[in-house]
Chains A and B, each alone.
Chain A
Amino acid sequence: MADDLLFLTELLGLKVHDLKGRSLGLVKDAAIVPLIHPSRVDRYLIGGGWAWLTVRHDQVRAISLDGIYLKDEQLTPYHSDEYMLRLVRDLLDQQIIDGHGRKVVRVTDVTFKIQHEEHGDVLNITEVDIGLRSIFRRLMQGAISPGLVRRLQSVIPPHSIRWEHCSILEADPQRRLRLNVSNEILERMHPADLADIVEELSPDDREAIFETIDSEVAADALSEVEPEIQASILESLETEKAADIVEEMAPNEAADVLAELEQQTSEEILQEMEPEPKTEVEELLEYHENSAGGLMNTEYVALPENATVADAIGALKAHEEVIEKINTLFLVDEQEHWKGSVPLARLFTAAGATPLKDLAAETPIYVDVEEKQDRITEIFDKYNLLALPVIDETGKLAGAITADEVISLLRQK
């Protein structure tokens, strides 16, 4: 079993032999072509004399620690190829994203599996190695024999990431396409984890990810990123893409981000936005950042005063997109004046015909749009709230502050 494994550190420096067993040179690098196969080593680059030669995978008869034996010696000189991911140049020592462990890691070595196929041996990348064992291997590479390295390293616990969980970083959008870099792994992550990862990357890599990732995922992740980094990400993107992302964000978060930007940039982004989210965000931008108006969310579900539980359930079904973000329903009269709050959980125990009014909390608790942060956190604490309605000067329901906003607020202090 173990004999089927080969490390990149071992592959480098292996002798390549022609049909008569003469040495042609040493392996200098190996490349995969992700568009053709995601993990198979497609080319071996060997250096003998002045120029490097390219060996295609189907020209190889056997690969082992003793060297690479060819079955076809018609080799071509190496030309840089945009579709190649060269393992030494582009992967070794570079950062990649570990989609499974949800962090940014640095590649120390690569593990291959040698597959003995009919036409010859083929290498497939199985794992990317990080951690002490691979560091040891790198340091000892060439200094002591590979067999000894293998024996000595067994005392160090391995630390590797399966290749299918790795997402490589490539800042150049053209090359991203050619290397078939997909954002699938990132898009499957929790937005908060993605945000943590993005914060650790360089500005170019951040830009590349946000430029290409699905706008909805981008919006969720961006909401979780630190404010200064949010601003620098949006500024680096094409205005159109930035607007797409901001549209997908909750209006209050969109307003917060836009407030961080230079005025000119934020106006340009607003220009590009769809009219509806645009007006919502613009209204929120009017409020002071630290007031209730600046904190509140305008995505809420409000029902007429005389609505029943059945109406409420109908309304929730119609607004499924907000269902995960809310925990309270609001009652309003015809002029949209706030009349009461109903905790969502109440609906489960009440009969369908029960008027919502009967389920509303008895003490009317709300704040004015101008209310200060400190007072808001105090109210949340005092009344053990999950959501707090915000009322404008005329008594109309303007929005709601949810507990998660308050938690972020307290953590920032």
Chain B
Amino acid sequence: MLKQFRYQIAIFLSVVGPGLITANVDNDSGGILTYSQAGSKYGYLPLWTLIPITLLLIVTQEMCSRMGAVTGKGLSDLIREEFGLRTTFFMMIVLVLANFTNVIAEFAGIASSLELFHISRYISVPICAVAVWLLVVRGNYRSVEKVFLFACSLYVTYIISAFLLKPDWKEAAVYSFKPILMFDTGYITMLIAMVGTSIAPWMQFYLQSAIVEKGITAKEYVQSRVEVIVGCILTDVVAFFIIVACAAAIWSHGAKDINDAADAAVALKPFGQYAYLLFSAGLFNASFFAACILPLSTVFTVCEGLGFESGVDKRFHEAPVFYWLFTLLIVLGGGIILWPNFPLVKMILLSQVINGILLPVVLIYMVMLINKKSLMREWTNSRLYNAVAWVSVIIMIGLTLALASITVKQMVQSARAAPAAPVSRPLAEMQGDDSSGHAMKTNVRESGGAHLVR
């Protein structure tokens, strides 16, 4: 009995990694910003969305991990095999664009979090870019995975800082289960943003590849599913504490708009020096962690789908596309942060839109693939599960498209507000029109992708 139990534990430990890592990277700088905004502006009210978000996340992630375990192939492999090269090619182009803008956002998170510790971005960003490159290219997958798992555990900083800020736990508990809908545009947008940031196209590709890379097979799938579910829950537990912390420290002293994840940390400062430090450290951890995973995930997905050699165990000349793309993503992603007056906010808004366009396609393909008997054998979705999956997918698509269209509307509005910047004007002048472009410091403030709540 005990032996059986130990064996189960051993199997569970052997599959730990993919699910936890994917779910935690989800709380990257963009995610932290959104949750901080929610807490600062609306206090405990948005907490109830976390439970449905968790459920949606579990449904989609579970399907990916199941496909990975049963077929032993990545999602882009399967899309290529079942839907052909052209579909895959265009999907990959859009994915690279979306992920590239995300990588920029992560480097922005690194820069602004370390600036809270008085480290200039001209030092922090190059060092972190090199560190990311070396960690991924020179490290072997197993040890890198351990580093990543350790990074997951650092999210505990957000939990501790929430406790330090002495929130109203009773209210937090009540609003976690009590849905509050207000017909206030800002509030609705906020809720949509929370759902929208919680699931991104790259996650589906990364999770499935990680499951395959880990060698998880249909036999260990039960344990792997537990891990994926635990990961999804933990992610939203972290989100809960971020919202609660911001609600306790910022909202309770008057609702406030936050424009940057580092802003939230600064706003916490008067209420607790440690909470401030922990929040800033948490942001750095999350951004750095995501800056490692995103480029790696992108190149693996692209190379798998288009049939280029890939893998960090290959040499440069054996897998040139793999290494070039990876290096470019990091160099350009970090470089752009150092480029004074770059219209960062616009880039990040754009990434929301691209993600919003790509996600529906990915999700629909996923449900189609998982129902193919020839691929999944007895592991296809049951009828009930299919119903749940389609409903989740439709909700996700609806909300993401809503988010994308709100973003587009905002972009159009801000373009009207600053009626300059026709395309033909010189670049320097264009950037002058960007509200964030006046000085380095303001640029930092805007960098996390301040968008929705204005």
Contacts and interface: CB of A to CB of B under 8 A. Distances in A.
Interface of A: 92-95, 103, 105-106, 108, 130-131, 135, 138-139, 201-205, 226, 228-229, 232, 235, 262
Nearest to A196: B313
A138 B86 contact: yes
Contacts of B84: 92-93
A235 B219 contact: yes
A139 B86 contact: yes
Contacts of B306: 106, 135
Contact of B81 (A93, A135, A262): A93
B72 A93 contact: no
A93 B80 contact: yes
Given A202-B73, A229-B215, A94 B81 contact: yes
Contacts of A135: 85, 89, 306-307
Contact of B71 (A92, A202, A232, A235): A202
B215 A93 contact: no
B71 A93 contact: no
30 contacts: A93-B80, A93-B84, A94-B81, A103-B309, A106-B80, A106-B306, A108-B85, A108-B307, A130-B307, A135-B85, A135-B306, A135-B307, A138-B85, A138-B86, A139-B85, A139-B86, A139-B89, A201-B72, A202-B71, A202-B72, A202-B73, A203-B72, A203-B218, A204-B71, A226-B215, A229-B215, A232-B217, A232-B219, A235-B219, A262-B7
B72 A204 contact: yes
A205 B81 CA distance: 15
Nearest to A106: B307
A224 to B, nearest CB: 14
Contacts of B77: 95
B85 A93 contact: yes
Nearest to B304: A106
A378 B138 CA distance: 26
Interface hub of A232, A235, A262 (most chain B Cβ within 10 A): A232
Mostly, the A contact residues are mixed
Contacts of A92: 84
Contacts, number: 44
Interface in B1-44: 7, 14
Contacts of A106: 80, 306-307
A229 B212 CA distance: 11
Given A105-B307, A106-B307, A228-B14, 9 more contacts: A92-B84, A135-B89, A135-B307, A202-B72, A204-B72, A205-B72, A226-B215, A232-B217, A262-B7
A154 to B, nearest CB: 20
Contacts of B80: 93, 106
Nearest to A130: B307
Nearest to B82: A93
A103 B314 CA distance: 12
B88 to A, nearest CB: 8
Given A106-B307, A201-B72, A202-B71, A228 B215 contact: yes
Interface string B180-201: 0000000000000000000000
Interface in B79-112: 80-81, 84-86, 89
A387 to B, nearest CB: 29
Mostly, the B contact residues are helix
B10 to A, nearest CB: 11
Contacts of A93: 80-81, 84-85
Interface hub of A95, A106, A262 (most chain B Cβ within 10 A): A106
A95 to B, nearest CB: 8
Contacts of A95: 77
B77 to A, nearest CB: 8
B85 A203 contact: no
A139 B88 CA distance: 10
Interface hub of A94, A130, A203 (most chain B Cβ within 10 A): A203
Contacts of A202: 71-73
Contacts of B218: 203
B357 to A, nearest CB: 20
Nearest to B212: A202
Interface in B202-259: 215, 217-219
The 4 closest A-B pairs by CB, nearest first: A202-B72, A106-B307, A203-B72, A138-B85
A399 to B, nearest CB: 29
A337 B81 CA distance: 61
Nearest to B218: A203
Contacts of B217: 203, 232
A229 B72 CA distance: 12
Nearest to A142: B86
Contacts of A204: 71-72
A95 B306 CA distance: 11
B81 A232 contact: no
Interface hub of B14, B77, B85, B219 (most chain A Cβ within 10 A): B85
A204 B375 CA distance: 10
A205 B72 CA distance: 9
A203 B84 CA distance: 22
A184 B414 CA distance: 66
A201 B77 CA distance: 12
A94 B85 CA distance: 10
Contacts of B72: 201-205
Interface in B50-84: 71-73, 77, 80-81, 84
Contacts of A226: 215
A201 B71 CA distance: 10
A203 B85 CA distance: 24
Interface hub of B7, B72, B89 (most chain A Cβ within 10 A): B72
Contacts of A105: 307
B110 to A, nearest CB: 31
Contacts of A205: 72
Nearest to A103: B309
A228 B86 CA distance: 35
Contacts of A94: 81
Nearest to B305: A106
Contacts of B14: 228
Nearest to A203: B72
Contacts of A235: 219
Contacts of B215: 226, 228-229, 232
Interface in B310-355: none
A232 B309 CA distance: 25
A169 B215 CA distance: 19
A106 B84 CA distance: 12
Nearest to B90: A139
